[in-house]
């Protein structure tokens, strides 16, 4: 059984050599099984004959990062094999797969007999390395499934709307339903090979076809009605264990026209165990366009750093992005950046964002409820009251956009990622500057400002979405000076002028100490960012809550400048080439780039 690769390719010729043909081992790898794990010796070259493999990187204390898929005819583990080093990632079967393995010594001998084999493999490794270095798309999912939970109504019309939006982005795409239930395996392979994207859809009464869809796709979307409770046990449900085990099952909740705010999404997440949640309003096309961007790797993630009053610059950055026409599909932040990011996820427009931030932080200081410093310089009651006023009892899962914020867990010594739960509680933890605000608690854990451990979490955003990331960082400008920590010349004048409402100089010292990023963390965050915005806020004191207009203008101008330097729209910064574009590229340059996967 030869791999499904072009007959004239060097890898195909490899298996025509007698020794390679005799030494090759064919085996079946059930969905969910691991082909190899990070750290395993690279003593075999693997070529996928049928099915799909997924590559994942897992680091201690962090969520697994999905690197991409490996398709039929593509090798896996070739970089580590050639380099003679252990594998650096896990490779797992996303569906039942067939794999051919060739021992390392046989492969190297075959390369000596036919140098073109190593030349072709070297070209593939160079392409993959360039893609990784440029943070470009690598082996992204291209086959998606949509199955119902309960009785959400007919799904195919919604999936066909999604198909049309993907087509408008320049890709070939098709929707396949129960009519293909009796098609042979070769038919599915040909459809997937002939289209950039394939969307499999099952309806509530499609029976066994639902199970076929769950076993045939790279990523699965379960679809329910957001205005109803999830069915108990989902008796018509299905088991998608390989995808669930690798956190590749998402949830779409269809929201009726006129819905002001989703409700009850936490119960759906508990029932489904989905990795991501998307709300889709039937009355608007924008949510369908957003989902099309997510599937094609063109969704835009926005990450906002902490930085005290300097984080007002994020308000201007958001206004500039909207004026530029750049969508915001995912949003996350830390400390004050988390507050503003939450406003975006709530659906606040520019006017509402401006009004609410002024009310909460500018009109009166949020830090003037000075306390006897047993736990902190302030009681923190005003901050909690303002969070309740502006965010109420909204759950993170009920936000219109996928949102996260970060706090620092002093109990475990690691950053704490908030993706679910009460929004204002997560925000209160994310802005709990040590010494300034009392810490928050989560059970026995003590949580403080996320900036202490991760002040610019662009790498967290990268682990959760494949599209371009815009990052706004207000912490790198020159900050605290000796003048900022000087003792007031006159305590009476300090009180009389109202400067005390900003807190004593120690507040600046504590805030700046908490928002200094290490070189390693900053480098990792910037590496994950496609558009980096650095507002000029050096002249704004970190606790100057009245400096709103200056900070907003700095963020607005810096973002406009960054966007003006782009040669293409933000959404296309990581755009994968379509099959038609690849064919044209190959015609013009026989050794041009080809679609590849992240196999290492």
What does the radius of gyration of the chain's CA atoms come to, in whole angstroms? 26
What is the rounded end-to-end Cα distance, in angstroms, of the chain? 24
Picking from 317, 269, 308, 318, the residue whose alpha carbon sits closest to that of residue 475 is 308
pLDDT in tens, 539-577: 888 878 889 999 999 999 999 999 999 999 999 999 988
The parts of the chain modelled with pLDDT lower than 50 are: 1-3, 7, 133-137, 235-236, 478, 500, 591-600
Picking from 273, 226, 267, the residue whose alpha carbon sits closest to that of residue 249 is 273
Q: In what order do the strands lie in the sheet with 65-70?
A: 34-36, 90-93, 53-57, 65-70
pLDDT in tens, 70-95: 888 788 888 888 888 999 999 999 88
Q: Give the pLDDT of residue 521.
A: 65
Residue boundaries of the structural domains of the chain:
10-133, 143-296, 301-572
Distance CA 572, CA 580 (A): 17
Q: Give the pLDDT of residue 134.
A: 46
Distance CA 399, CA 402 (A): 7
Burial, 588: exposed, middle or buried (Cβ in 10 Å; 0-12, 13-18, 19+)?
exposed
pLDDT in tens, 469-521: 999 999 875 455 555 555 555 555 655 555 545 555 555 555 555 555 555 66
Report how far apart, in Å, the C-alpha atoms of 55 and of each of 34, 42, 80, 91, 247 are. 10, 15, 14, 4, 12
In CATH terms, 10-133 corresponds, of 1.20.120.420, 2.60.120.10, 3.40.50.2300, 1.10.3720.10, to 2.60.120.10
Exposure of 141 in the CB half-sphere (CA atoms within 13 A): 25
Angle between helices 423-430 and 381-391 (to 10 degrees): 140
Q: In what order do the strands lie in the sheet with 197-201?
A: 173-176, 197-201, 143-148, 219-225, 249-255, 277-281
- Which pair of tokens denotes residue 522? 């900053």
Q: pTM of the entire structure?
A: 0.85
> Is the distance from CB of 403 to CB of 332 less than 8 angstroms?
yes
Residues identified as active-site: 335, 449
Distance CA 26, CA 10 (A): 19
Burial, 538: exposed, middle or buried (Cβ in 10 Å; 0-12, 13-18, 19+)?
exposed
- Residue for token digits 């408008």? 168
Query: Which phi and psi (to 5°) does residue 97 adopt?
Result: -135, 160
Picking from 251, 245, 221, 334, the residue whose alpha carbon sits closest to that of residue 58 is 245
Query: Which phi and psi (to 5°) does residue 198 adopt?
Result: -125, 130
Which contiguous run of DSSP H or E holds residue 345?
Answer: helix 336-346
Strand positions, DSSP E, 75-131: 75-76, 90-93, 97-103
DSSP 269-337: HHHH--S-EEEEETT-SHHHHHHHHHHHT---EEEE---GGGGGHHHHHHHHHHHHT----EEEEETHH
Q: Which fold has domain 301-572?
A: Cytosolic phospholipase A2 catalytic domain (3.40.1090)
Distance CA 394, CA 412 (A): 27
- What letters, b where the CB count within 10 A reaches 16 and e where it falls short, cover 458-493? bbbbbbbbbbbbbbbbbbbbebbeeeeeeeeeeeee
Q: What is the 3-state secondary structure (H, E, C) of 231-252?
A: CCCCCCCCCCHHHHHCCCEEEE
Q: What is the CATH number of domain 143-296?
A: 3.40.50.300
Contacts of 233 (CB under 8 A, 6+ apart): none
């Amino acid at each position: 059984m030869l791999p499904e690769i072009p007959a004239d390719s060097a890898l195909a010729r490899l298996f025509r050599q007698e020794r390679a043909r005799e030494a090759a081992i064919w085996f079946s790898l059930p969905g969910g099984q691991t082909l190899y794990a990070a750290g395993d010796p690279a003593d075999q070259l693997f070529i996928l004959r049928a099915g799909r493999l997924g590559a994942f990187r897992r680091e201690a204390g962090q969520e697994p990062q999905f690197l991409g898929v490996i398709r039929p005819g593509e090798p896996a583990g070739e970089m580590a094999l050639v380099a003679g080093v252990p594998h650096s990632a896990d490779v797992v079967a996303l569906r039942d797969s067939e794999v051919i393995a060739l021992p390392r010594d046989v492969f190297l001998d075959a390369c000596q007999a036919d140098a073109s084999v190593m030349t072709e493999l070297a070209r593939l490794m160079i392409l993959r390395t360039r893609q990784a270095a440029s943070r470009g798309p690598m082996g992204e999912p291209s086959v998606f499934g949509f199955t119902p939970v309960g009785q959400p109504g007919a799904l195919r019309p919604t999936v066909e709307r999604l198909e049309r939006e993907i087509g408008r982005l320049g890709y070939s795409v098709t929707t396949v339903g129960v009519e293909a239930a009796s098609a042979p395996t070769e038919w599915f392979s040909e459809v997937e090979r002939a289209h950039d994207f394939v969307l499999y859809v099952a309806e509530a009464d499609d029976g066994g076809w639902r199970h076929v869809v769950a076993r045939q796709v790279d990523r699965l979307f379960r679809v329910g009605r957001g205005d109803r409770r999830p069915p108990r046990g989902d008796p018509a449900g299905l088991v998608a264990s390989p995808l669930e085990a690798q956190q590749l099952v998402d949830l779409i909740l269809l929201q009726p026209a006129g819905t002001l705010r989703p409700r009850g999404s936490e119960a759906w997440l508990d029932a489904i165990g989905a990795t991501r949640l998307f709300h889709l309003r039937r009355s608007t096309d924008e949510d369908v366009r957003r989902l099309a961007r997510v599937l094609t790797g063109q969704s835009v993630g926005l990450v906002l750093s902490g930085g005290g009053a300097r984080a007002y610059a994020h308000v201007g950055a958001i206004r500039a992005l909207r004026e530029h026409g750049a969508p915001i599909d995912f949003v996350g932040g830390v400390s004050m950046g988390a507050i503003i990011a939450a406003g975006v996820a709530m659906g606040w427009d520019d006017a509402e964002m401006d009004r609410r931030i002024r009310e909460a932080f500018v009109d009166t200081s949020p830090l003037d409820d000075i306390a006897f410093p047993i736990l902190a310089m302030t009681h923190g009651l005003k901050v909690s009251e303002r969070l309740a006023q502006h965010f109420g009892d909204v759950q993170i899962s009920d936000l219109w956009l996928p949102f996260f914020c970060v706090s620092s867990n002093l109990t475990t010594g690691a950053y704490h990622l908030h993706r679910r739960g009460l929004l204002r509680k997560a925000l209160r933890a994310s802005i709990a500057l040590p010494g300034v605000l009392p810490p928050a608690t989560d059970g026995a854990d003590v949580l403080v400002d996320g900036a202490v451990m991760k002040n610019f979490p662009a790498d967290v955003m990268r682990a959760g979405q494949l599209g371009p990331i815009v990052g706004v960082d207000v912490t790198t400008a020159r900050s605290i000076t000796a003048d900022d920590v000087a003792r007031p010349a006159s305590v009476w004048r300090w009180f009389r002028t109202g400067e005390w409402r900003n807190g004593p100089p120690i507040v600046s010292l504590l805030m700046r100490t908490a928002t200094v990023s290490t070189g390693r963390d900053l480098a990792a965050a910037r590496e994950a960012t496609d558009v980096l915005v650095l507002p000029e806020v050096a002249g704004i004191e970190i606790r100057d809550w009245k400096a709103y207009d200056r900070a907003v203008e700095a963020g607005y101008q810096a973002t406009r400048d960054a966007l003006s330097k782009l040669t293409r729209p933000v959404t296309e910064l990581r755009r994968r080439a379509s099959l038609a574009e690849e064919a044209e590229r190959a015609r013009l340059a026989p050794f041009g780039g080809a679609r590849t996967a992240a196999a290492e």
